[in-house]
Amino acid sequence: MNISAPCQESHSPWVLNWSKASRKPRLRLICFPFAGGNANTYRPWVDHLPSDIELLAIQLPGRGARFNEPPMAELPVLIEHITEALEPLIQMPSVFFGHSMGAIMAYEVCTTLQRSNKELPALLILSACNAPGPIQQRAALHTLPSKSFWKEVQMINGTSDDVLNNPELLELLEPSLRADFKIVYDWRQLNTQSEAPKLSVPMVLFGGKDDDSVNLEHLQMWQKCFSEIGQTHLFSGDHFFIQDPTPTFFSTLSGLLAPIG
């Protein structure tokens, strides 16, 4: 039985290291969480990646060991903190992977780095996220009363029944999830393709074949935000396909990482 690595020492509360102790890594894979998610989502990946890849994940306030910290609902402040934490880590070859809200954060960190003429990752993988542009915006979920809020969350299909049937747990999780939904809502209100800067970082798109919230057309619209056209890969599963990734997912990811570093 494979046992995922414990978290290795990290120099910032914003970044957790899930890698097994080994020689100096060839590259760093830095993963950004989806709304309501945390760094633990990516912990099992270490058993499916080459040993010379260091697996890091962003941990937001209000999750995991940072549970007692108030969640952040303002994206510019969040991006400032994450960028500051990542700058010393991307001096070696690095790849950003962001899923759903995590794709927004990864994209905005790259935008901040490029604007400041700082080092960029060797590759940016945007997963299960609609591009900025004229798409139908989901209602402002973060403003709903608690009962309506959780009814909408249940429809998104990213929360287990065990959690949804536990009122005490819902009360604990609600502030951070509301903050995440506010971040996504505000970002979509403020961003259109015409305003989005073209990034010079190489880009790849991932999507779920059965994702009802991100169709292929809206996923592909990310291409207009980059100076070079990137590949698109679709995998079995719905919006949360990374929670139960297939062998094809990991073989594709490893293949993309192989030439880097």
Q: What angle do CA 61, 45, 122 make, to 5 degrees?
A: 80
Residue at token pair 């001096």: 91
Catalytic residue among 94, 100, 127, 176: 100
Q: 72 near 196, Cβ under 8 Å?
A: no
How distant is the alpha carbon of residue 211 from its chain centre?
16
b/e string for 168-201 if b means 16 or more Cβ within 10 A? eebeebbebbbbbbbbbbbbbeebeeeebeebeb
How distant is the alpha carbon of residue 63 from its chain centre?
14
Q: HSE-up of 223 (CA within 13 Å, CB side)?
A: 10
Query: CA–CA separation, 37 vs 53, rounded Å?
Result: 22
Active site residue 51: no
Question: SS3 sequence, 15-62?
Answer: EEECCCCCCCCCEEEEEECCCCCCHHHHHHHHHHCCCCEEEEEECCCC
* The amino acid at 174: E
List residues with catalytic annotation: 100
